[in-house]
Amino acid sequence: MSSETSKTVDSQALQAEVNRLKLELQTLQVEDRSEEIFLGNYLLTRLEQLGVKSMFGVPGDFNLGFLDLVEDHPTIDWIGNCNELNASYAADGYARVKEQSLGVLLTTFGVGELSAINGIAGAFSEMVPVLHIAGVPSTTQQKSKPMLHHTLGDGRYDAYLKAAAQFTISQADLTNAASAASEIDRVLVDCIVHARPTYLTLPTDLVYTKISSERLKIPLSHLPPPNDADEEEFVISEIEKLVNEADNDVVVLVDACAIRHDARKELREMIEKTQFPVYSAPMGKSVVAETYERYGGIYVGSISHPEIKEKVESAKLILSIGSLKSDFNSGNFTYSIPTMRTVELHSSWTKVKYAEFPGIGMKQLLPKLTQRLHAYNALARQIEVPKFVANVPQEEDDVISHNWFWPRMSGFFKPKDIIVAETGTSSFGILDVPLPNDAVFLAQILWGSIGWTVGSTLGAALAGRELGLGRTILFIGDGSLQLTVQEFTSMLKKDLKPIIFVLNNSGYTIERYLHGKTRHYNDIVNWKWTSLLSVLGDEDGTKSKSYTVKNKAELSELLDNSSFANADVMQLVEVIMPMHDAPRALQVQAELSGKTNKYVA
Amino acid sequence: MSSETSKTVDSQALQAEVNRLKLELQTLQVEDRSEEIFLGNYLLTRLEQLGVKSMFGVPGDFNLGFLDLVEDHPTIDWIGNCNELNASYAADGYARVKEQSLGVLLTTFGVGELSAINGIAGAFSEMVPVLHIAGVPSTTQQKSKPMLHHTLGDGRYDAYLKAAAQFTISQADLTNAASAASEIDRVLVDCIVHARPTYLTLPTDLVYTKISSERLKIPLSHLPPPNDADEEEFVISEIEKLVNEADNDVVVLVDACAIRHDARKELREMIEKTQFPVYSAPMGKSVVAETYERYGGIYVGSISHPEIKEKVESAKLILSIGSLKSDFNSGNFTYSIPTMRTVELHSSWTKVKYAEFPGIGMKQLLPKLTQRLHAYNALARQIEVPKFVANVPQEEDDVISHNWFWPRMSGFFKPKDIIVAETGTSSFGILDVPLPNDAVFLAQILWGSIGWTVGSTLGAALAGRELGLGRTILFIGDGSLQLTVQEFTSMLKKDLKPIIFVLNNSGYTIERYLHGKTRHYNDIVNWKWTSLLSVLGDEDGTKSKSYTVKNKAELSELLDNSSFANADVMQLVEVIMPMHDAPRALQVQAELSGKTNKYVA
């Protein structure tokens, strides 16, 4: 029941607020020193409470003491990555799949933490809750600042923190035991409430300092503060008025922040109760089940299929949920939706036409809106929604074209699959393919760091296993895979069984489309892709299988093979594709960016 | 002749100063618009003038236009790395071998540049001249700040520059054509004079903007400003007085900065003319030929061989040249040399006992000092210097121990070899081994980022080929190699023929010595090391050979094989070593760091 959801969300938010206040109070009170634990274990208990079961990173001499505690922890598993960038990507992928929890990355001072900074910046950009813990020299050394290895040689012990501050929303530089617990809680809460990375230094000596465990009795919550009731009621009335005026021509457009700020459930209830037609931006793909009868597919400005473009842009009112208008998420800024016809719901604010309402967040607003708009469903149902289907085209040749490949993959997916698409041909290609129910879709459409999916597939597969989800399926190009390939090792080590499709098209295809179609700088060296897994950790060949498919028939046969589809071992499929082919959406996007981003005079 | 060297260095420094002033003047003058060239080509011409023949990096959509110019440039070769961290390591390795030139790294906005930041910070820490060029959005976009891919989504277009500023000594954020040439010159001069990384943004539109080529007629110089003549004379007299007072008991101790600030030649002349006994810190290894009769080996505080320790610490005067007292370079800060017996020569200052002389740099001071101290050589020669030799021990078993391995390698090295040692067992193990004449030694003893040597070997091998040096030989552990392995691909692509010794000892051995000897977090997954090269680019097997050696006899046989030693193809040798063995120096260092850096309470 909508009203129940509404009450639940409200009371949960209130409880969270009560807890936050209790914690603030406790920070000011004299500590109960009766039950003391290692500071390192305080942190681990907090992570355990928040559902963290896997920790990513690389050992280094300033985090080894803490690693003893991690290794001895009964429910948190140390993954141990091949390098720190991959580890940060893995923490990101893990956090995306384990909604309401977070990803945790542990690195060492300087060399380790800086190697991970691109991954952390990506989590910032794409709004993913990742806690970056850097093991740092002891508090004594940080005061005397000796010229230790991993330092810049000039005594600037704060340089790494300053860099981290650019890409995290809050930082805690632990310097003493007295404030450590409240500092840890602060960065954890910031991380999960705002869905952004935070940064925590862990000096070697503090890890084994004893602190009170009293605060651990009060749980931390990712729920935002409650909306102001009067203002919320006003906003709802305003929105209802607009819905009313729009007759039955209302469209819901869902986007990234509905996933990131944990409004998936509330949103789904809203669209089911109201029966409004719903479309998704690329970064909102899979928020709403793509098989849902009132779902019409992907809206991405000028790149949209003409029918979708027409339906969305001509609607009298667009309820935009969690919008994030980046270039690749908006068809290079070609939305044609006037503000006068738009209501925007965000994590912590709402916008009705031009009026902004800071502090009114969607998580609590949505259930109440659903209650009020429920009544319009009979009218809403009259609006037709295009069917979102992927038809496998009949092509004359046997070449595996993008045009054929992506619709063909659609039939291979199963409910609860985790589908990861690398920036480039894969992230554009998969847009036009409907995913099954409860599928989880991962792509880095705003940040777009190539190579990200290898690490994030590791994290996603671990999270998927913890949550009992289905297979993890990665689509990646040959160029991107070369950046981060070693992380296959960690997948084998942890007995994960992802299916990896390597699109072998001889280089950086997305770059070729943007510029330099025949330039050598877009070439890469060809690898023996099907030997990778046996070299990188499957020594006796029992943990993996690899395949090359050169034409449509070979790929179809493999996809139809139930042993392959069951994914009982890790599998890699090298898919031979033409060098200069690309999905439709990428071709259009490249044309559009070429216009705004000139490469030559 | 010493006096000639002195005159040459002085007049070169004066000429460099004249040129700098001319360039400053030109910045203020109205430009001659007669001969205009693309801004991108202005930069490339400057790099060409400075001896750059290889450029490292990864293509990305904000640097593709500039890459067209690079690819079309007649003498600068685009290497095209597998990822940006590896590229930054390669630029570092290149710069270390091509003294007086610099390394150049090209990345793309955000995702690319941040992935390289650890490599840049390492170049800062270790004082290596690397120019980091980031291809960034057009000047128009930087003003309007749209939510482009590779941005943080919050309009902070300056976040990457702010992070870069922590790890580079100067930055140029190009915003218009008028100041571009002088800005480019400024970061280039800072880079080569101070031997530190600098950062340059290259907006897509400016690359093809035309600017005057007039300034290119005045060359840029890495020479520091001339010393003040009177002050310099005073300093020399002070030093001579101390040498006199020390009777004949003077010792020269050379270190990193003598290499980094291009004083190798002046230093060698000094020690040959004066005949003072000379020792080297780990980071100064190979500055002085290790076969030189007056060279006694490595001084590293308490970790030194007892005879070396005694000789250095008991000397009445220590002339310290280019000292850098980091933990691993000083036996964990265990120098026992009182200030009252020390003269320190640095790149831009001098210290005599407690008196500091800012502005008196060693490059120009050394030749004059040589002239004055020449007369003491007969006395100096009376001081005995221990022979620096590596005796291969007779061991009962056939296991490849560190104790045996490193002295055994000594006989394999040839003059002009480039020898690269990864942080950990390799960088410690090689300390006790004398290198042949004109060998170049690379290690990252201060920064200590594991995996660095793979990229730096690529850069070093390219530089070595350009300079006509000998073989490039890398020593790396299995754990470190996993971080950056894909860069083998670039070595194969560029037909380089390094010899790579992979010390397979089942994990992070240096960490095991520091803490967690039997902990699982120090384990790694074993790879099929000898299949790596065939998988990563040697498709037909003609470009590489791989070997496994399990005992002393197998390794000796391989080293004695002339076809192996000739290094006509790229070669990888998997060396099976015991898990818990380590070189003597690492064992002592680990004990010492354990005392100062406690991991448990």
What are the CA-CA distances from residue A299 to residues A251, A335, B435 (Å)?
A: 11, 9, 65
For the CA atoms of A333, A595, A127, A466, the dihedral, rounded to the nearest 10 degrees, stands at: 110
A160, amino acid identity: Y
| Edge-to-edge order in the sheet of strand A130-136 | A77-78, A54-57, A103-108, A130-136, A198-203, A170-173
Active site residue B272: no
Residue A222 has a pLDDT of: 87
CB A207 within 8 A of CB A40: yes
Q: Pick from A78, A110, A521: which is nearest to B71 by CB?
A: A521
Which helix (H) or strand (E) is B369 found in, with range? helix B362-373
Chain centre to alpha carbon of residue A321: 17
CA distance A496 to chain B (A): 14
* Tens digit of each residue's pLDDT (9 = 90 or more) over B93-121: 999 999 989 999 999 999 999 999 999 99
Say whether A532 and B532 touch across the interface (CB within 8 A). Answer: no
Query: What number is the average pLDDT over the span B274-295?
Result: 95
Say whether A482 and B489 touch across the interface (CB within 8 A). Answer: yes
Catalytic residue among B84, B185, B232, B574: B84
Return the sign of the alpha-carbon dihedral for residues B578, B583, B584, B588: negative
CB A90 within 8 A of CB A96: no
Helix and strand element counts for chain A (H, E)? 25, 21
Residue A589 has a pLDDT of: 82
Say whether A598 and B204 touch across the interface (CB within 8 A). Answer: yes
Residue B592 has a pLDDT of: 79
Q: How confident is the model at residue B342 (pLDDT cuts 50, 70, 90)?
A: very high
Beta strand B355-358 with B349-352: parallel, antiparallel or unpaired?
Answer: antiparallel
What are the CA-CA distances from residue B251 to residues B280, B291, B316 (Å)?
A: 10, 17, 8
Catalytic residue among B227, B332, B403, B505: B505
Say whether B85 and A115 touch across the interface (CB within 8 A). Answer: yes
Query: Measured between beta carbons, which residues in chain B are less than 8 angstroms from residue A85?
Result: 83, 85, 115
* Tens digit of each residue's pLDDT (9 = 90 or more) over A443-502: 999 999 999 999 999 999 999 999 999 999 999 999 999 999 999 999 999 999 999 999
A257 burial via Cβ count (<10 Å: 0-12, 13-18, 19+): buried
Residue A406 has a pLDDT of: 96
Q: What is the mean pLDDT of chain B?
A: 93
CATH of domain A31-217: 3.40.50.970
Active site residue B538: no
* Assigned CATH class of A402-591: alpha beta
Query: Measured between beta carbons, which residues in chain B are less than 8 angstroms from residue A39?
Result: none
Residue A601 has a pLDDT of: 41
Query: Measured between beta carbons, which residues in chain A are less than 8 angstroms from residue B445?
Result: 149
Residue B601 has a pLDDT of: 41
Q: What is the mean pLDDT of chain A?
A: 93
- Please state, as a whole number, how many other Cβ atoms lie within 10 Å of the Cβ of residue A217: 10
Query: What number is the average pLDDT over the span B71-98?
Result: 98
Active site residue B149: yes
Residue B5 has a pLDDT of: 72
What percentage of chain A reaches a pLDDT higher than 90? Answer: 83
Say whether A67 and B111 touch across the interface (CB within 8 A). Answer: no
Catalytic residue among B48, B150, B205, B537: B150
Query: What number is the average pLDDT over the span B14-19?
Result: 85
Secondary structure of residue B452 in the 3-state scheme: helix
Q: Which chain A residue's Cα is nearest to B451? A: A83
Q: How confident is the model at residue A11 (pLDDT cuts 50, 70, 90)?
A: confident
Q: How confident is the model at residue A19 (pLDDT cuts 50, 70, 90)?
A: confident
Query: What number is the average pLDDT over the span B1-14?
Result: 73
Q: How confident is the model at residue B2 (pLDDT cuts 50, 70, 90)?
A: low
Continuous H helices in A50-149: 64-72, 84-97, 111-115, 117-125, 139-144
Nearest Cα residue to A581 out of A525, A528, A507: A507
Residue A514 has a pLDDT of: 82
Say whether A511 and B59 touch across the interface (CB within 8 A). Answer: yes
Evaluate if residue A519 carries a pLDDT over 70: yes
Domain B229-380 has CATH 3.20.20.60: no
So what's the architecture of B402-595 in CATH?
3-Layer(aba) Sandwich (3.40)
Residue A34 has a pLDDT of: 64
Say whether A539 and B520 touch across the interface (CB within 8 A). Answer: no
- A431 has which bridge partners? none
A181 contacts: CB under 8 Å, gap ≥ 6 = A39, A42, A211, A212, A215
Count how many pairs of residues, chain A against chain B, have C-beta atoms within 8 Å.
304
Evaluate if residue A295 carries a pLDDT over 50: yes
Residue A1 has a pLDDT of: 43
Q: Which chain A residue's Cα is nearest to B138? A: A597
Q: How far apart are CA B546 and CA A235, in angstroms?
A: 70
List active site positions of A.
61, 84, 149-150, 448, 478, 505, 507, 511
CB A210 within 8 A of CB A37: yes
A488-513: b or e for each residue (b if 16 or more CB lie within 10 Å)? Answer: bbbbbbeebbbbbbbbbbbbbbbbbb
- B490 has which bridge partners? none
Continuous H helices in B411-541: 425-429, 452-467, 478-484, 488-493, 509-514, 532-535
Evaluate if residue B166 carries a pLDDT over 90: yes
Written as six digits, the tokens of A40 are: 């390192």
CA distance A88 to chain B (A): 11
Note whether A229-380 and A402-591 share their fold. Answer: yes
Say whether B511 and A147 touch across the interface (CB within 8 A). Answer: no
* Tens digit of each residue's pLDDT (9 = 90 or more) over A147-171: 999 999 999 999 999 999 999 999 9
Say whether A122 and B111 touch across the interface (CB within 8 A). Answer: yes
Q: Which chain A residue's Cα is nearest to B520? A: A71
Q: How confident is the model at residue B443 (pLDDT cuts 50, 70, 90)?
A: very high
Residue A5 has a pLDDT of: 72
* Tens digit of each residue's pLDDT (9 = 90 or more) over B447-501: 999 999 999 999 999 999 999 999 999 999 999 999 999 999 999 999 999 999 9
- Please state, as a whole number, how many other Cβ atoms lie within 10 Å of the Cβ of residue A17: 15
Active site residue B479: no
Residue B124 has a pLDDT of: 98
Residues of A annotated in the binding site for Mg(2+), as ranges? Answer: 478, 505, 507
Which helix (H) or strand (E) is B401 found in, with range? none
Residue B224 has a pLDDT of: 85
Q: Which chain B residue's Cα is nearest to A70? A: B521
Q: Where are the domains of chain B?
A: 31-217, 229-380, 402-595
* Residue where the block lists tokens 């610490």: B313
Residue B589 has a pLDDT of: 82
Query: Measured between beta carbons, which residues in chain B are less than 8 angstroms from residue A601?
Result: 38, 208-209
Query: What number is the average pLDDT over the span A329-345?
Result: 93
Which helix (H) or strand (E) is B111 found in, with range? helix B111-115
A586 contacts: CB under 8 Å, gap ≥ 6 = A424, A425, A428, A429, A510, A513
Residue A3 has a pLDDT of: 60
Evaluate if residue A364 carries a pLDDT over 90: yes
Which helix (H) or strand (E) is A600 found in, with range? none
Q: Which chain A residue's Cα is nearest to B493? A: A525
Query: Measured between beta carbons, which residues in chain B are less than 8 angstroms from residue A123?
Result: none
Angle made by CA atoms A249, A370, A443, in degrees to the nearest 5: 80
Residue B598 has a pLDDT of: 56
Residue A31 has a pLDDT of: 61
Query: Measured between beta carbons, which residues in chain A are less than 8 angstroms from residue B58?
Result: 483
Output the DSSP codes for A476-537. Answer: EEHHHHHHHGGGHHHHHHTT---EEEEEE-SS-HHHHHHS-TT-GGG------GGGHHHHTT
Nearest Cα residue to A82 out of A451, A574, A571, A498: A451
Q: Which chain B residue's Cα is nearest to A160? A: B166
Continuous H helices in B216-255: 229-245
Q: How far apart are CA A53 and CA A55, in angstroms?
A: 7
Secondary structure of residue B198 in the 3-state scheme: strand
For the CA atoms of B151, B156, B159, B162, the dihedral, rounded to the nearest 10 degrees, stands at: 150
* Tens digit of each residue's pLDDT (9 = 90 or more) over B167-193: 999 999 999 999 999 999 999 999 999
Say whether B451 and A527 touch across the interface (CB within 8 A). Answer: no
Query: What number is the average pLDDT over the span A20-44?
Result: 83
Nearest Cα residue to B287 out of B251, B254, B329, B252: B254
Residues of B annotated in the binding site for Mg(2+), as ranges? Answer: 478, 505, 507
* Tens digit of each residue's pLDDT (9 = 90 or more) over A112-153: 999 999 999 999 999 999 999 999 999 999 999 999 999 999
Query: What ipTM goes with this model?
Result: 0.95
Secondary structure of residue B277 in the 3-state scheme: coil
